[in-house]
Amino acid sequence: MSMLTAENQAAEYMVECEPISTDEYRIMADAASRFGDRYGSGYVTRRAVLAEIGGLQQLVRAPEVFMGDHTTHQFRNEHGPQTAHWMMSGVYTVNDESVRFEVDSHRQAAAMTAVAWAAARTAGGPGPEAKVSIFRGALDPSWLAELPTPTPEDRPVEQLTALVQGADFARFDTTEQVRAAYTEQHRTHVFEGMNATYGWAYLASRWLGALSRSDLTVLVDLFDSRHGDGRLDTHYDCWYNVTVQLSGAKDWRVGRGLIVPGEEIVTHTMRAGDVMVIPHDVPHHVDTPADPGHSRHLIFTIDRRESEQLTTP
């Protein structure tokens, strides 16, 4: 991946993806600026992050035109003049997937993209200089509570769902099957590939993929657990992991000391609104603490190297 250092390099990011409107760009720029003001510039300057986001804005070549429940954008890319129809609400087929768009999906995606990308870059990544980093209160918990997400009791029929214990992902087709399996053995729920189900996650996935030049799709997964539920073994991932705590709390132990005696282990408790970045191949272990006894967190799998989702030491 090419690291930007100045605004005039933003044109590098004119890649083929969902274009952003003036409104979405303003939301992204404001969110990234607030993040930079609060947490400092880190590996790159706030100016460079804004330049990278600005590269997405250059895909738009004309003001949006509202037509019913769609927003139409006319723009130009290497293939010539293009028209993109953005869904405002309802269920639409995108790349053979049924994706749920709501009125605020684009704005939600813009804010989430900006914070996730600013965190990733402030932590020094994606790249070899990346470090484990946590940003307390980076997102408003009340805003996160309004974000459309699946729950064990309410999930779209097409939402991929697994129950996790150790390294085993047991996948089920229906809510009834998930409920029965959880009753039999309490395990963490994993709602996989929300980017193929929810409009805001679809757009955030596309935009983060463009910003990071990811070869593989940036997946958006949600982990839902109660205290005492089965959970993943100690493992490391083949992607640059940006984690957003939606609600509750999650205890994290991170570092090579988990697999190499004598090396460092860092302990964090993530609470609603916190964002954490874990680079490729860094071992980590999670637990859901008794207080408050539940946890829901998102992960964005930036710069995946391979399709496998779990590697145990």
| pLDDT surpasses 50 at 13 | no
- Residue 308 has which token pair? 């496998």
Q: Give the mean model confidence (pLDDT) for residues 258-274.
A: 94
pLDDT at 263: 92
Strands (E) across the chain are located at 65-67, 70-77, 80-87, 90-94, 97-101, 133-135, 160-165, 168-172, 188-192, 220-226, 240-254, 266-271, 275-278, 284-287, 294-302
DSSP 142-156: HHHHTS----SSS--
| Amino acid letter for position 110 | A
Query: 94 near 202, Cβ under 8 Å?
Result: yes
**CATH number 2.60.120.650 is the correct assignment for the domain at 133-302:** yes
Contacts of 55 (CB under 8 A, 6+ apart): 10, 11, 12, 13, 14, 211
- Which residue ranges make up each domain of the chain? 7-122, 133-302
With tokens 């071992």, the residue in question is 283
How many angstroms separate the CA atoms of 8 and 131, rounded? 27
- Helix ranges (DSSP H) in the chain: 22-39, 46-57, 105-122, 141-145, 175-184, 199-212
**Cα three-residue angle 306-308-310, rounded to 5 degrees:** 125
- Which H helix or E strand runs over 196? none
Query: 122 near 245, Cβ under 8 Å?
Result: no
Comparing 208 with 94, the larger pLDDT belongs to: 208
Q: What percent of the chain has pLDDT over 70?
A: 76
How many angstroms separate the CA atoms of 119 and 275, rounded? 8
91 — pLDDT class (breaks 50, 70, 90): low
Answer left, alpha or beta for residue 179, where phi above 0 means left and psi between -120 and 50 means alpha. Answer: alpha
Contacts of 168 (CB under 8 A, 6+ apart): none
66 — pLDDT class (breaks 50, 70, 90): very low
Identify the top-confidence range among 1-5, 57-61, 106-110: 106-110
pTM: 0.84
Q: Which residues of 58-77 are buried (b: 16+ CB within 10 A; e: fewer)?
A: bbbeeebeeeeebbebeeee
